[in-house]
Structure 1
Amino acid sequence: MGHFALSTDQTSRATESAKTAAELTTARQADLPTALIRYLWDGGSATVVVEALAAYQNEDGGFGHRLEPDIHAVASNPFAARVAMQYLRFLPDDSAPVMRTRLQEWLTTNQHQDGDWHFSTATKAGFMQPWFAAWEFPALNPACCVSGLAGSLGLVSDEMMARVSKLFDQKASLSQISNGGFYDLLPYVEYSLGVQLPNEYLDAIAASIIRRSEAGEFEDAEHFFTLATGGSAEITAKIPAELISRYCDQLIAEQGEDGGWPTPYDDAWRVWTTANAMMILARLSSA
């Protein structure tokens, strides 16, 4: 990540973690998390990852099928699209061209004039956790998360980004970055992947992450890294290297004896949290 990379010792421990992590996801028959871990840490095939991810893509090009575990409907939804794009960012640029094209078509077709991607009737008809059932659109999340990730993958158009930019101008504030919770800060972080945020926003994001770290507000290391390394390199560069290193040690230490990482959410999240932990460490090992 520019100014930080895993130490030799951290890399060695992370490599050992990957072995038991893959054993856990394999035992739970979680094909996509297993394929991701093996691809990142054991010379596995990107094609296998794409094939596993394809099981979550619908005919309309979007993603569903509980790729976002808290939304049970098969139908495509923006939060599942966000997860899919996070995985695609780890794959070679020339991988999954058909999947990418179909996803771009879904993003283009399903964006509302207000700049956001809403739940379809089919999605709302299925079970979702209460926080999603009460979601109000338009909102910076998912609009900025989806468009930022899509921008980093080259899946956007000028018209698409202009709509999101208008929404951002209406709803964004430095106060929200400084005083909001984790999920208030998330869309600013991920939006930075697709647009150049003003310096005052980048500074405020980094300062908020550092403050939350010092106050012990992150539930675990994964939540720290989602913000600290989940956006643009400019944000990560503003986080002290020693702080990132400390959270790397914490992330590795949080792995359970069975190879999986704990989660404050539903147990269905464990395989995904485990894959996310290994993705974070892989990103830092290749810095």
Structure 2
Amino acid sequence: MKTLTEDALAAAGRYIQLNARLIDRLRYDRLLGGGSPDRVLAVLRAHQNPDGGFGHALEPDLRGAESQPEPVEVAFWILDELDAFDDPMVTAACDYLVTVTAEDGGVPFVLPSVRTSPRAPWWETPDDPPGSLVPTASIAGLLHKHKVSHPWLAPATAFTWSAIEAATELQPYTARAVLHFLEHAPDRDRAHEQFVRLREAILATVSFDPDAGGEAHFPLDFAPEPGELPLFSDEVLERHLDALIDQQSAEGGWAPNFLMWTPVVAHEWGGFLTVARLRTLKAYGRLPTGG
């Protein structure tokens, strides 16, 4: 079993300093035990708009200031790692979600307002987009995890259950969102039933070869920390944790494996993903002692 060395961890810190956004530099400091959660929250708050949604390139591929549903998910993952779901940003974001929820109870993947700003080419939508499991399922899962009560959550949960129970085949990002929801949905019997039914469909979206090229989705993308639902064996996870350590770049970071459509996003995603990879290594006990 490999463990990230002290020198490799120091290299990751240098990479963060040279490439990452302020919010990810502060998340890195917090992860390694020396940073203040209040400073991370202050920077995150600057990404929140008066309507309660998030924008301003919190999701690096959405460059505009306007609120979109997906940056709410990004914000909630950061609040999750800080265990800060009592922050007023959460209620304000849920109030925003109510205003953009489709008639089916889910929030769309992206709203038509995205057309006014630079964005990655996959952020496209019809004029009247329906609800989508991405990001509805992940947002609902995080709210359930932290036992948040808000009027948006019940219809969003009903939408998510309906979409999951109708699903037979999944795309990787959808599979990851479904798995996260099932990890935290309060109806545990129903969650386990759907996990058993969809387990093979979820696994069909996973790349088990650590050296797979292109936009592959690996086991640790689905299980960035130990979870309740047994999707992968310990052997698979250990192999991919070893590979993750080996995949650290000469510059000290972990590079994205999807399209970098404009130069700045390579740095922003690199910093974001490097923090994410270090969080995974820490969750599985693969950082140096004290890291």
Taking structure 1 as the reference length, what is the TM-score of the superposition? 0.80
Q: Specify the alignment match of 1:98 in structure 2.
A: 88
Q: Specify the alignment match of 1:257 in structure 2.
A: 250
Letter paired with 1:242: E
Q: CA 1:154–1:17 in structure 2 vs 1: closer, same or farther (change >3 Å)? A: farther
Q: How does 1:1-287 map to 2 (within 5 A)?
A: 10=3, 13=4, 16-28=7-19, 30-93=21-84, 97-118=87-108, 119-134=110-125, 136-157=129-150, 160-166=153-159, 168-170=161-163, 172-173=165-166, 175-176=168-169, 180-195=170-185, 196=188, 197-208=190-201, 212-214=206-208, 223-229=218-224, 233-235=227-229, 237-265=230-258, 266=260, 267=266, 268-285=268-285
Q: Specify the alignment match of 1:4 in structure 2.
A: none
- Cα offset, 1:85, TM superposition: 0.9
- Cα offset, 1:164, TM superposition: 3.7
Distance 1:214 1:223 in 2: 6
Cα-to-partner distance string for 1:224-271 (whole Å, 9 max, x where unaligned): 3221246x8222x34211211111111111111111111123114211
Distance 1:221 1:43 in 2: 33
Greater shift in the superposed pair: 255-264 or 166-175: 166-175
Distance 1:92 1:171 in 2: 27
SS in 2 for 1:113: coil
Cα-to-partner distance string for 1:20-73 (whole Å, 9 max, x where unaligned): 222212212511111111111242221222122222222222211111111111
Gaps of 5+ in 1: 1-6
Q: CA 1:28–1:163 in structure 2 vs 1: closer, same or farther (change >3 Å)? A: closer
Letter paired with 1:198: A
- Cα offset, 1:208, TM superposition: 4.9
- Cα offset, 1:89, TM superposition: 1.0
SS in 1 for 2:81: coil
| Aligned partners of 1:53 and 1:84 also within 8 Å | yes
Greater helix proportion? 1
The alignment of Structure 1 onto Structure 2 pairs a total of residues equal to 271
- Cα offset, 1:76, TM superposition: 1.2
Same amino acid, percent of matched pairs: 21
- Cα offset, 1:206, TM superposition: 4.6
Taking structure 2 as the reference length, what is the TM-score of the superposition? 0.79
- Cα offset, 1:159, TM superposition: 5.4
SS in 1 for 2:67: coil
Q: CA 1:143–1:100 in structure 2 vs 1: closer, same or farther (change >3 Å)? A: closer
Distance 2:153 2:33 in 1: 38
Letter paired with 2:221: T
Q: CA 1:128–1:164 in structure 2 vs 1: closer, same or farther (change >3 Å)? A: farther
Q: CA 1:208–1:194 in structure 2 vs 1: closer, same or farther (change >3 Å)? A: same
| Aligned partners of 1:56 and 1:63 also within 8 Å | yes
| Aligned partners of 2:172 and 2:202 also within 8 Å | no
| Aligned partners of 2:255 and 2:273 also within 8 Å | yes
SS in 2 for 1:150: helix
Gaps of 5+ in 2: 261-265, 287-291
Q: CA 1:139–1:245 in structure 2 vs 1: closer, same or farther (change >3 Å)? A: same
Distance 2:46 2:140 in 1: 23
Q: CA 1:101–1:166 in structure 2 vs 1: closer, same or farther (change >3 Å)? A: closer
